[in-house]
Chains A and B, each alone.
Chain A
Amino acid sequence: MNPSDLRSRPIIEVKNIRKEYPIGDETVVALKRINLNVMRGEICCIFGTSGSGKSTLLNQLAGMEKPTRGEVRIGGVPISRLSENQLAAFRQKHLGFVFQSYNLLPNLTATENVAMPLMFRGVPREQREAAARKLLTRVGLAHRLDHFPGQMSGGQQQRAGIARAFIARPDVVFADEPTGNLDSKTTVEIMNMICSFARDYHQTIILVTHDPEMAAYADRIVTLIDGEIVRNEVNQKKERKTYEA
């Protein structure tokens, strides 16, 4: 890693967040006391078994939910305190998402789906669809530009999903079990793709997974058990070959 990056301010700062859910009369504590910094350009894996609170943490990081206590800052902006409209504007500019179940809109073509984040920003159609086609070509879907999600395989859909996550050049991309529904061969392809995008644009990736093999792609692995960070370490065994995609 470049030393200058280590000195710069972390892109994601998590300070003392706690998340509770009321279930009936009882309160379930999903996250106990999380402190975490993620540097710009880092691929950070949040690793844990189901129920460890990793998805809850992702929700807090991405501003999907507000923590009960504590604060999340992305690029210095306290996203846990933004209004809904501010949050939308923030997401347009700074955040990207890759979902486990791809989440492409079924009535839009691959190109339209990929161009969607730019549409929300008000980019004219010609311009955003040209950008989408370029990116789809890069992920190897040049032959599927005008196909609907239902006409594509899971791997193809997820590639379109990745193109969509990166089209607006966000600072941070959240990937929630991005290969959870894919076979192992496609998993490698998809992970290589995500990593190569991140490297090209110097973007930060938050990868949520329960799969140790996936964690191997990360620069840093944060392990969660029962809503607490039990390990936060730099990944020494990072597979350098993944960067050759």
Chain B
Amino acid sequence: MRPNDLFRMCVQNLLRRKSRTFLTVLGVFIGCCSIVIMVSLGIGMKESQEKTLAKMGDLTIITVNAPQSGRGKNKLDEALVKRLRTISGVEAVTPKQSLEAETINLVTGTGRRYLADWVSVVGVDTDEMERLGYQITEGRTAKKDGEVVVGQYLAYNFKDNMRPEGRNMVDRWSGDWDENGNLTNVPPPYFDPLKEKKMTLEIENDGKKVTIPIVPVGMTKEDYSKGSETSDGVILSLSDLRKILDKLQGNKKKAVPYNSVLVKVSAIDQVEPVEKEIKAMGYNTDSMESIRKPMEQEARQKQMMLGGLGAISLFVAALGITNTMIMSISERTREIGIMKSLGCYVTDIRVMFLSEAGAIGFIGGLIGCVVSAIASVVINLASLGFSPENILPAIVGGEEVSRVSVIPPWLLLFAVVFSVFIGLGSGYYPANKAVRIPALEAIKSE
């Protein structure tokens, strides 16, 4: 038989018993809906977890530290940086060197009006900053000597010497907290560091004083996976930092190893293998993975549980399909005999019944997908509040929106394919039963 004839027969036979087909499809539809909705809740949970984590820092950054023991052997040096760059999955690498001194002051304004003490100063490979995922919120990265990038909240570290002691700093935490736990009404700092064209670093160590002028050209978003300097520190180029270190050391000229090396990998799932490889090289590593992994695992467990609950109803629906097909076959025993006696191939009969069962699965799955997509939007709207401007975020989500129910396209595809397979699977036994009906049934008088 030709495929289009098989298809026509399938449709005709399904339409013959409309209410029975409808009820069976309904069962599949409910099963499909429950799977999709349940899994989408799990995905939504996972997604909002990841968003929370991402707020804390870049999830694809690995910090490499020198091992505690066996010092002297595994140093953080240029050779290591080169080696790290060759690992597959690594996007960018920078060494990080912090300035350690007895006092590190940063002053600016006319007549040293603003002063910040204990500023964290680090040097990184400024060419790699963009690829490392430093989010420059204002300005640009450092390109020339003396140019620096400052942390988002650096300005809050400054004292205003014109104001009386005790009231000469702006408290960044003095704002209000909204219902999502975010700060609002944060008071502005005394000045914008990027507008202050000049700042001076005053460093004192071992009786040596070094004064370096710096020019802030960019501001980076707070990201603790990269270090606290992104919050309230100063990021210099490595060569600038070397110069400061050289000046402080005077004639000693001792090579100072890097404090750490930052490695950026291409995707979240690369974190684990790359970390493993670096550890195998004999270094310590640190990443958000240690927090993310158990959270993800928990989310996955919940997802499986929810999906399993949904699957139960689809399996009940599968029994419904089998039942419908068996009934249909016992009604059509004679017909099958007639078709066989007229030369219908056994395979065609099997395909005929399998396609009916598969079609029930497919239609149920398709309707289930459409309805659960709508239900998902309604659930999201309910959590975001019913208003027109929330409709789009409820459907596609957004950077700042965490949806309760998330249906990725693969889930819909999976649901339809799964429903079809459930249909075919539950049609398998009835189809075999149909195939075994002898042509002789056609001759038997009723």
- A→B interface (CB under 8 Å): 55, 58-59, 62-65, 84-85, 88-93, 95, 97, 99-101, 103, 105, 107-108, 116-117, 119-122, 124-125, 164, 168, 176
Instruction: Please determine whether A117 and B342 come into contact, CB atoms closer than 8 angstroms.
Output: yes
- Partner among A89, A97, A119 whose Cβ is within 8 Å of the Cβ of B341: A97
Instruction: Please determine whether B346 and A119 come into contact, CB atoms closer than 8 angstroms.
Output: no
CB distance from A68 to the nearest CB of B (A): 15
Instruction: Please determine whether B438 and A119 come into contact, CB atoms closer than 8 angstroms.
Output: no
CB-CB nearest 9 A-B residue pairs: A92-B343, A91-B343, A64-B440, A120-B344, A88-B345, A103-B338, A117-B342, A120-B343, A64-B439
How many angstroms between the C-alpha atoms of A235 and B34 in the bound complex? 73
By CB atoms of chain A within 10 A, which of B13, B339, B342, B345 has the most? Answer: B342
Instruction: Please determine whether B342 and A116 come into contact, CB atoms closer than 8 angstroms.
Output: yes
How many angstroms between the C-alpha atoms of A176 and B439 in the bound complex? 14
How many angstroms between the C-alpha atoms of A116 and B442 in the bound complex? 15
Instruction: Please determine whether A55 and B443 come into contact, CB atoms closer than 8 angstroms.
Output: yes
How many angstroms between the C-alpha atoms of A90 and B339 in the bound complex? 14
CB distance from B74 to the nearest CB of A (A): 71
Instruction: Please determine whether A107 and B13 come into contact, CB atoms closer than 8 angstroms.
Output: yes
By a CB distance below 8 angstroms, the chain A residues around B13 are 107
10 A-B pairs whose Cβ atoms sit less than 8 Å apart in the complex: A63-B439, A64-B341, A64-B439, A85-B347, A89-B343, A93-B343, A119-B5, A122-B1, A124-B2, A125-B4
CB-contacts of B329-345 with A (<8 A): 334-335, 338-345
By a CB distance below 8 angstroms, the chain B residues around A125 are 4-5
By a CB distance below 8 angstroms, the chain B residues around A93 are 343
Instruction: Please determine whether A121 and B343 come into contact, CB atoms closer than 8 angstroms.
Output: yes
By CB atoms of chain A within 10 A, which of B13, B334, B340 has the most? Answer: B340
Known A-B contacts A119-B1, A124-B2; the reply to A105 vs B439 at CB < 8 A is: no
Among residues of A, the one whose C-beta sits closest to the C-beta of B441 is: A64
By a CB distance below 8 angstroms, the chain B residues around A105 are 335, 338-339
Instruction: Please determine whether B443 and A117 come into contact, CB atoms closer than 8 angstroms.
Output: no
How many angstroms between the C-alpha atoms of A97 and B343 in the bound complex? 10
How many angstroms between the C-alpha atoms of A101 and B337 in the bound complex? 13
CB distance from A126 to the nearest CB of B (A): 12
Among residues of B, the one whose C-beta sits closest to the C-beta of A88 is: B345
By a CB distance below 8 angstroms, the chain B residues around A88 are 340, 343-346
B446 at the interface (CB under 8 A from A): yes
B445 at the interface (CB under 8 A from A): yes
CB distance from B339 to the nearest CB of A (A): 7
Instruction: Please determine whether A120 and B348 come into contact, CB atoms closer than 8 angstroms.
Output: yes
B12 at the interface (CB under 8 A from A): yes
Among residues of B, the one whose C-beta sits closest to the C-beta of A107 is: B16
Known A-B contacts A120-B1, A125-B5; the reply to A89 vs B442 at CB < 8 A is: no
Query: How many chain-B residues does the 8 Å CB contact rule pick out?
Result: 27
How many angstroms between the C-alpha atoms of A162 and B366 in the bound complex? 43
By a CB distance below 8 angstroms, the chain B residues around A85 are 345-347
Instruction: Please determine whether A164 and B343 come into contact, CB atoms closer than 8 angstroms.
Output: no
How many angstroms between the C-alpha atoms of A90 and B346 in the bound complex? 13
Encoded as 1 (CB less than 8 Å from any A CB) or 0, chain B from 13 to 38 comes to: 10010000000000000000000000
CB distance from B288 to the nearest CB of A (A): 62
- Partner among B1, B2, B342 whose Cβ is within 8 Å of the Cβ of A91: B342
Among residues of B, the one whose C-beta sits closest to the C-beta of A119 is: B5
How many angstroms between the C-alpha atoms of A95 and B440 in the bound complex? 15
CB distance from B152 to the nearest CB of A (A): 71
CB-contacts of B408-440 with A (<8 A): 438-440
- Partner among B4, B16, B345, B439 whose Cβ is within 8 Å of the Cβ of A120: B345
Among residues of A, the one whose C-beta sits closest to the C-beta of B16 is: A107
CB-contacts of B350-379 with A (<8 A): none
By a CB distance below 8 angstroms, the chain A residues around B340 are 88
Instruction: Please determine whether A101 and B440 come into contact, CB atoms closer than 8 angstroms.
Output: no
By a CB distance below 8 angstroms, the chain B residues around A176 are 443
Instruction: Please determine whether A120 and B342 come into contact, CB atoms closer than 8 angstroms.
Output: yes
Known A-B contacts A59-B440, A85-B347; the reply to A100 vs B342 at CB < 8 A is: no
Among residues of A, the one whose C-beta sits closest to the C-beta of B15 is: A107
Instruction: Please determine whether A62 and B341 come into contact, CB atoms closer than 8 angstroms.
Output: yes
How many angstroms between the C-alpha atoms of A100 and B443 in the bound complex? 8
How many angstroms between the C-alpha atoms of A122 and B344 in the bound complex? 10
How many angstroms between the C-alpha atoms of A92 and B343 in the bound complex? 5
CB distance from A168 to the nearest CB of B (A): 8
By a CB distance below 8 angstroms, the chain A residues around B2 are 119, 122, 124
Instruction: Please determine whether B445 and A107 come into contact, CB atoms closer than 8 angstroms.
Output: no
By a CB distance below 8 angstroms, the chain B residues around A108 are 12
CB distance from A93 to the nearest CB of B (A): 8
Instruction: Please determine whether A89 and B345 come into contact, CB atoms closer than 8 angstroms.
Output: yes
By a CB distance below 8 angstroms, the chain A residues around B442 are 97, 99, 103
CB distance from A94 to the nearest CB of B (A): 9
By a CB distance below 8 angstroms, the chain B residues around A122 are 1-2
By a CB distance below 8 angstroms, the chain B residues around A116 are 339, 342
Given contacts A103-B442, A120-B343, 7 further A-B contacts (CB under 8 A): A59-B443, A88-B345, A89-B343, A92-B342, A99-B442, A103-B338, A125-B5
Instruction: Please determine whether B339 and A120 come into contact, CB atoms closer than 8 angstroms.
Output: yes
How many angstroms between the C-alpha atoms of A125 and B344 in the bound complex? 16
How many angstroms between the C-alpha atoms of A40 and B311 in the bound complex? 62
Instruction: Please determine whether B343 and A64 come into contact, CB atoms closer than 8 angstroms.
Output: no
CB distance from A226 to the nearest CB of B (A): 21
Among residues of B, the one whose C-beta sits closest to the C-beta of A94 is: B343
Instruction: Please determine whether A103 and B343 come into contact, CB atoms closer than 8 angstroms.
Output: no
How many angstroms between the C-alpha atoms of A99 and B16 in the bound complex? 24
How many angstroms between the C-alpha atoms of A84 and B339 in the bound complex? 13
CB distance from B437 to the nearest CB of A (A): 11
How many angstroms between the C-alpha atoms of A114 and B440 in the bound complex? 20
Encoded as 1 (CB less than 8 Å from any A CB) or 0, chain B from 284 to 309 comes to: 00000000000000000000000000
How many angstroms between the C-alpha atoms of A176 and B343 in the bound complex? 17
How many angstroms between the C-alpha atoms of A108 and B338 in the bound complex? 13
By a CB distance below 8 angstroms, the chain B residues around A101 are 445-446
By CB atoms of chain B within 10 A, which of A59, A101, A119, A125 has the most? Answer: A119
Instruction: Please determine whether A64 and B338 come into contact, CB atoms closer than 8 angstroms.
Output: no
By a CB distance below 8 angstroms, the chain A residues around B16 are 107
- Partner among B343, B346, B347, B443 whose Cβ is within 8 Å of the Cβ of A99: B443
